[in-house]
Amino acid sequence: MRVVIVDDAEAAACRAAQEIAALVRQKPDAVLGLATGGTPVRCYRELIRLHQHDGLDFAAVRSFNLDEYLGLPADHPQSYRRFMQENLFDHLNIPCEQTHVPDGMASDIDAFCQQYEQQIQAAGGIDLQLLGIGSDGHIAFNEPGSSLASRTRLKSLAAETVRDNARFFGSEADVPKLAITMGVGTIMESKQCLLLATGANKATAVREAIEGAVTARVTASALQMHPHTIAVLDAPAAAQLEFADYYREAERLNESVRNTPAH
């Protein structure tokens, strides 16, 4: 896992956006896996800026979101479809039919989950999957104890996740307790994973995910086994990493090699 530590959340968001933008420029029809929550909002703002001011073209891009609350229609104020429209899609030139978010109102959940997996495969797989991390170390809604081989499915939310998300709903009682989520196994099939984490409240989860044991108790730890994962962290999120100085030095050396002109 490549670990990039920057000073603050804004710098982390810009770095993550640069990784996504580089892929889109290299492969205009890239398939992006996208995330919701507070962490990626700054990253999405930077992608919007790159589109509107630098001409970054999303016309051929296809996207698949990680998850959606069960029982929330697409136009619900707290649905992840609504979140993506307001925070990204409405500001880009990506056709709506090329964006995919799990259907929280699906009548046959098992059939929908199987179809979602098939749609990802039909698109050629996800080129880059953007991920946040929960305070308990989960990715998507793969709560502690989730199988590291899991596929898209219905998942019950842990109490800690409900508490963390209550700020978006007003109270814990209003937070849905079930969600449709990509599985860890689905995420691990992405060609590249980009973990974005900011804030001191994520420091313990980041430490366990990056330097702890690979375990279903911390589903983000599975990313240690992925051949192409980059973790972009601000300094507070990286504060508990034992090898933080090594990561900084390794990235400095890597950048020096990349920036050295070929002879």
DSSP at 104: T
Lowest mean pLDDT among 2-6, 32-36, 163-167, 179-183: 163-167
What local confidence, expressed as pLDDT, does residue 255 receive?
A: 86
Residue 34 clears pLDDT 80, i.e. is over it = yes
Domains annotated for the chain, with CATH where assigned, are 2-258 (3.40.50.1360)
What local confidence, expressed as pLDDT, does residue 15 receive? 97
Q: Does the annotation mark 110 as catalytic? A: no
Amino acid letter at 222?
A
DSSP tally for the chain: helices H, then strands E: 8, 10
Q: Which of 165, 136, 164, 202 has its CA nearest to residue 69?
A: 165
65 alpha-carbon distance from chain centroid: 8
Give me the DSSP letters along 152-193.
SEEEEPPHHHHHHHHHHHSSGGGS-SEEEE--HHHHHTSSEE
pLDDT single digits (tens) 164-207? 888 888 889 999 999 999 999 999 999 999 999 999 999 999 99
* Residue 138 falls in the annotated catalytic set: yes
Predicted local confidence at residue 160, as pLDDT: 87
pLDDT for residue 99 is more than 60? yes
User: Pairing mode, if any, of strands 192-197 and 2-6?
Assistant: unpaired
- What is the overall mean pLDDT for the chain? 96
Active-site residue, from 46, 100, 103, 138: 138
Q: What value does the mean pLDDT take over residues 141-152?
A: 97
Average pLDDT over residues 237-254: 96
- Of 46, 67, 164, 208, which residue is the catalytic one? 67
Task: Choose the catalytic residue: 46, 68, 127, 136.
Answer: 136
Q: At what angle do helices 9-26 and 41-54 cross, to 10 degrees?
A: 50
Q: What pLDDT does 263 receive?
A: 56
Average pLDDT over every residue of 17-38: 97
User: Closest Cα partner for 136 from 117, 108, 157?
Assistant: 157
Residue 12 predicted with pLDDT over 90: yes
Q: Which of 46, 68, 103, 143 is catalytic?
A: 143
Q: Would the pTM of this model clear 0.85, i.e. be above it?
A: yes
Region 219-248: mean pLDDT is 98
Q: What is the pLDDT of residue 256?
A: 86
CA 206, chain centre distance (Å) = 14
